[in-house]
Structure 1
Amino acid sequence: MSLTLDDLVAALDALRPRMDEVSLAIHARPELKFAEFHAHELLTGWLGEEGFTVRSPAGGLATAFVAVHEGRSPGPCVAVLAEYDALPGVGHGCGHNLIAAGGAAAAIAVVRALPGHAGTVAVIGTPGEEMGGAGKIRLAEAGIFDAVDAAVMVHPGDRSLTARPGLAAAHLRVDFTGVSAHASVSPWLGRSALSGAQLFLQALDAMRQFVPPTARLHGIVTDGGQAPNVVPAHATVDLYARDTTAVSVESLVRRITDAADGAALATGTRARVRETGPRYAERRNNMALAERFGAAVRALGVPITADGPGSPAGSSDIGNLSHLMPVIHPYIQIADAGTPSHSEPMRDAAATPFAHDRTQVAAAGLARVVADLLTEPELLAAARAEFAASAGASLAGTSPAGGVSASLAGGSLAGGVGADGEGAGGERAGGLRAGMGAPAGGERAGSGRE
């Protein structure tokens, strides 16, 4: 007897109390990238209770995990991805509590509804998606995804979408170095690093008219000095450069570096441009799988469509995975249309009963896709054919210093260690069932000029 959507819904109904409990516990205790220890404990404990073999840490990341349920016979390996990091200031303003709990529930529902399934159902805990953490990229570089045939996840938002564009992105830090002096007695003996940073930001403002309309340049001053009566000798700007392709982002990074050099020259300071983590690639949505998700969601009474290719978008490390395998990253509406992500209203919405009702629907959609990939060889074949057709060229994601490569021909994604010291697995971990490598410390080489 074939598995029906009702079978999956029944399994999720039984899981609903635990799903809500885990989601709300994660929401109530937001944890920033690579420090998600509470969420990690909740998720791995739940999956272990349900018969998954849990391995953690994974890929050298302390809060990553791989939970695997092996079938009774060989078959595809399908991974459900869980994100669970929060944001500074707004906590779970991106609703990652729902991603994590809903994803785990979807995988468990498949295992319960298909007790004799072939292949492998995996839940991969991917920490550090926010703030350029690049958890998925680091795990891919460590070999965690080597055995995975397809990866699925769902994201909360203000609309329900089977697919949405995702921009390529570079995460940059620009350090200006000047000379300190008394700001009143002898300012002419100093060179203001803050002036260099201010002029650099003005240059970015002037640049915006002359970059593609799809490009996004946005940043903040994270260090501008310590006291008004001291000419600042150090200043730092953190910024993101985004566009629809990694090739365009590479061009933006070169122009940003030139702007920093110009601002430094004009103010008598020195500028150093570096990338604080791997670049995010543009997202390739696998529509064969996305439409299967959408059909299940519609069958449960939730309208859902695909977003247009030119729609406003953010960036995620799942973009890099989408250049390695078929991937879906649909959205489920949990808040009023127009509610911005990364905001207090979205954070508050992510804890409501309505959000959890919608997450259960989304979990059913994910479970449908996972179950069908395990039981319908033609669906996996269609997803692979679509992936191959879109894969054409390499990511062209090399930084000016050569520190961030993402060559499809080489079969690797961008690795490395961010400037704020989070470790990425330095050795290949050999996939889902192998031992996990140790973190690698240190700082990536600067991508700019001093």
Structure 2
Amino acid sequence: MSVDMTAAYRAIDGALAAHRDELTALSLDLHAHPELAMAEHRSAGLLTDMLRRNGFRVECGIAGLPTAFRAEYGTGTPRVAFLCEYDALPEIGHGCGHNLIAAGGVGAALALAGTGLAGTVCVIGTPGEEGAGGKILELDRGVFDDVDAALMFHPGDRTLPIRHATAAQKLVVEYHGVAAHAAGSPADGRSALAGLIQLFVAVDAMRQFVPETVRLHGIITHGGTAANVVPEYARGEFQVRDLTRESVGELVSRFRAAAQGTAAATGTTVEITPGLLYAERKNNHPLAFRVADHLRTAGIDVETPVLRGGTGSSDIGNVSLALPTIHPYLAVLPRGTATHSREMTRLVATPEAHEATWTMAGALARTGADLLADAEFRDAVRDDFVQCPPDYPA
């Protein structure tokens, strides 16, 4: 029996209109109470409470992560999942717009559930995107095993259906030296800080001899306790990025050699603790461009993607290599506004940002409806996933 998609789309629009005020309040509440990666207890509670009130079955603490959750509405296949991120950045709060991602994902799920189409609508709460790799842990622990497609979006300064993203690995570097009086007996000391500073010098030298796609950056998180004491301990955090996991692995090997060299030069020792490896992104083109079609129908200007230049990284990449996944971008910021900035933190709480987010939620929900109702579209999505490689910059 054929499905009346006009009626399904009308139901989506009606559900979003009915929930708009509550969703806006949810987003603003998340924004006003930012929580860091893997500590998003209040945020997860707000999201799951709203889903329960609207008939979703909710399981909290999935994958052994206290702030992760999965909510479902309906039964059987296909299973379409909307992913929510809700962690904030240190000091600047929601400077990546995760309040909009979370509220928009919940809104899309509520709207799709209201169509009554056969299948299961899922919401997966994915904590710790900012460095802790919540999606990677969930993926490894089976959360996505029965999901047919994963949909989410990201706020930005332009609307794009697809965009490449780099693989990345976080590295925590700790140098150990010998404390001594910096003036009275410096010869007895070995400066852990000197070792770490020399590593920054070595990384700067590496930048001359790596491809243009590589990004190497870091900070010092501990450099000593007093100016008159030779630092016996120093700690830094670095990120290594490139187009693929394989090339990141090669760069990490070079980084390790540089760290060992600077330790030898300064008479210190060094420990390197790697974080989870964020993979490159494999955009599902039929899904992404279907969202773009729905956005254009709603009056949103969708730009033609240009796959070049540096970008960030996300644990959505790991999911995208395992099942059909999309991560389109939505313009909620003036052109050229920096992400991960205090200005973005301010702008993602504006009425204009929320208005755009509800339009995106509608486009995601309509695409979800297309997946549930159209077997040929599902086949095209699956074929693209099987046959097409990740998107790399030109």
Tell me the TM-score normalized by structure 2: 0.96
SS at match of 1:62: coil
Specify the alignment match of 1:125 in structure 2: 125
What letter is aligned with 1:82?
Answer: C
What letter is aligned with 2:105?
Answer: G
Corresponding position: 1:291 with 2:289: yes
What's the offset of the Cα at 1:193? 0.5
What's the offset of the Cα at 1:14? 1.1
Give, in whole Å, the separation in 2 of the partners of 1:320 and 1:38: 26
Give, in whole Å, the separation in 1 of the partners of 2:65 and 2:284: 28
Give, in whole Å, the separation in 1 of the partners of 2:309 and 2:51: 36
Structure 1 runs of 4+ with >4 Å offset: none
Specify the alignment match of 1:154 in structure 2: 153
Identify which of 35, 49, 52 aligns with 1:48.
52
Deviations 1:282-326 (A, max 9, x none): 000001000000001111111112432223210000000001000
What's the offset of the Cα at 1:391? 5.8
Give, in whole Å, the separation in 2 of the partners of 1:19 and 1:26: 11
Q: Is the 8 A contact 1:158 1:335 kept in 2?
A: yes
What's the offset of the Cα at 1:243? 0.6
SS at match of 2:64: coil
Corresponding position: 1:351 with 2:349: yes
Identity %: 49
Specify the alignment match of 2:113 in structure 1: 111
State how 1:53-68 maps to structure 2 within 5 Å: 53-68=57-72
Specify the alignment match of 1:165 in structure 2: 164
Specify the alignment match of 2:134 in structure 1: 135
What's the offset of the Cα at 1:349? 0.6
SS at match of 2:170: strand
SS at match of 1:75: coil
Give, in whole Å, the separation in 2 of the partners of 1:321 and 1:391: 14
Structure 2's unaligned 5+ residue stretches are: none
Structure 1's unaligned 5+ residue stretches are: 393-450
Give, in whole Å, the separation in 1 of the partners of 2:26 and 2:39: 17
Specify the alignment match of 1:101 in structure 2: 103
What letter is aligned with 1:93?
Answer: G
State how 1:221-370 maps to structure 2 within 5 Å: 221-275=220-274, 277-370=275-368
SS at match of 2:366: helix
SS at match of 1:304: coil
Specify the alignment match of 1:402 in structure 2: none
Corresponding position: 1:380 with 2:343: no
Specify the alignment match of 2:40 in structure 1: 36
Give, in whole Å, the separation in 1 of the partners of 2:267 and 2:352: 56
Q: Is the 8 A contact 1:165 1:311 kept in 2?
A: no
Deviations 1:18-54 (A, max 9, x none): 1101000000000001111111111101000111000
More helix by percentage: 2
Corresponding position: 1:7 with 2:11: yes
Specify the alignment match of 2:21 in structure 1: 17
Q: Is the 8 A contact 1:90 1:344 kept in 2?
A: yes
What's the offset of the Cα at 1:191? 0.5
Deviations 1:28-82 (A, max 9, x none): 00000111111111110100011100000111010110001124xx321110000
SS at match of 1:284: coil
What letter is aligned with 2:121?
Answer: V
Give, in whole Å, the separation in 2 of the partners of 1:48 and 1:239: 40
Deviations 1:244-273 (A, max 9, x none): 111110111001001101111111111112
SS at match of 2:86: coil
SS at match of 1:161: coil
What letter is aligned with 1:126?
Answer: T
Q: Is the 8 A contact 1:323 1:391 kept in 2?
A: no
Specify the alignment match of 1:405 in structure 2: none
Q: Is the 8 A contact 1:340 1:346 kept in 2?
A: yes
SS at match of 1:156: strand
Give, in whole Å, the separation in 2 of the partners of 1:218 and 1:288: 35
SS at match of 1:59: helix
Tell me the TM-score normalized by structure 1: 0.84
What letter is aligned with 2:290?
Answer: R
Specify the alignment match of 1:27 in structure 2: 31
Give, in whole Å, the separation in 2 of the partners of 1:12 and 1:25: 18
Deviations 1:420-449 (A, max 9, x none): xxxxxxxxxxxxxxxxxxxxxxxxxxxxxx
Q: Is the 8 A contact 1:183 1:228 kept in 2?
A: yes
Specify the alignment match of 1:76 in structure 2: 78
Give, in whole Å, the separation in 1 of the partners of 2:123 and 2:84: 7
What letter is aligned with 2:355?
Answer: D
C-alpha RMSD of the superposition: 1.1
Q: Is the 8 A contact 1:165 1:307 kept in 2?
A: no
What letter is aligned with 2:172?
Answer: R
What letter is aligned with 1:376?
Answer: D
Specify the alignment match of 1:85 in structure 2: 87
What's the offset of the Cα at 1:118? 1.3
Give, in whole Å, the separation in 1 of the partners of 2:235 and 2:376: 52
What letter is aligned with 1:122?
Answer: C
Q: Is the 8 A contact 1:75 1:119 kept in 2?
A: yes
Give, in whole Å, the separation in 1 of the partners of 2:26 and 2:264: 53
Q: How many residues matched? A: 386
